[in-house]
A = this chain, B = another copy of it.
Amino acid sequence: MGRWEPNARERLVRAAVDLFAEHGYDATTVTEIAERAGGLTKTTFFRYFPDKREVLFVGQEIHSRLLADAIAAAPDSATPLQAVAAALDAITATFSGDRRDFSARLKVVIDANSELRERAVFKRAALAEAMTGALNKRGVPDPAASLAAELGVRAFYIAFDAWSDPANQQTLADAARQTFDELRAAIAALD
């Protein structure tokens, strides 16, 4: 019960995505996820996640911190959009090519369930909020801070959608940088 399970968190996440993909989110129980993760127990599951849904959104806090830290670490001379670009570089660097297949499967699972889609929208808002807060701390006032953060989050998700297609050849870092530039151009051209 209380024993240390190597990589339990990651094994649980992968087991959950597998089972949700096979049987659907609603039909899968926490006990089944724990078992599929190499004979773990429900108790172990709840040591890592508050409920079945959160297993898919474990990245929210890690990603929020990563984005905020990168903005805080940007040089004093960086403009708001340059600081956001640095945050994009920091987060996309953690998505190596071998995560592409997993990301694609996760996306299919989330898209198939309204409760999960709703939770995903909330994660996105949390990431934007983390960047906005970090920009505010650099002295960037609202609405400039929240608009810059929104462009960054938007670039990340558009690039992520493209990147998680197995046919895509770009790195996520390159896709996000390119998308961010496209969004900047599009917003400048808005009338």
Residues of chain A whose beta carbon lies under 8 Å from any beta carbon of chain B: 79-81, 117-119, 121-122, 125, 143-144, 146-148, 150-151, 154, 158, 182-183, 186-191
Contact B122 A190 (CB under 8 A): no
Contact assessment for A144 and B186 in the assembled complex, using a CB-CB cutoff below 8 Å: yes
Residues of A contacting B: mostly = helix
Write out the residue numbers on chain B whose beta carbons fall within 8 Å of the beta carbon of A117.
Answer: 122
Contact A143 B182 (CB under 8 A): yes
CA distance A119 to B79 in the complex (A): 33
One of B81, B119, B125, B191 near A191 (C-beta < 8 A): B81
The one of B81, B125, B154, B190 that contacts A121, using a Cβ cutoff of 8 Å: B125
Question: Are B125 and A190 neighbours in the complex by a CB distance under 8 Å?
Answer: no
Which among B118, B119, B148, B183 is the interface contact of A143 at CB below 8 angstroms? B183
Q: A79-B191, A80-B191, A150-B150 are in contact. List 15 more A-B contacts (CB 8 A).
A: A81-B191, A118-B118, A118-B122, A143-B154, A143-B158, A143-B182, A143-B183, A144-B186, A144-B189, A144-B190, A146-B154, A147-B190, A151-B190, A187-B187, A188-B188
Q: State whether B80 touches A186 (Cβ < 8 A).
A: no
Q: Which of A117, A151, A189, A190 has the largest number of chain B CB atoms within 10 A?
A: A190
Q: A82 → chain B, closest Cβ, in Å?
A: 8
Which chain B residues lie closer than 8 Å to A125 at the CB level? Answer: 121
Complex formed: what's the CA distance from A189 to B118 in Å?
Answer: 32
Knowing A118-B118, A121-B125, A122-B118, say if A143 contacts B191 (CB, 8 Å).
no
* A119-B114 Cα distance, complex, nearest whole Å: 11
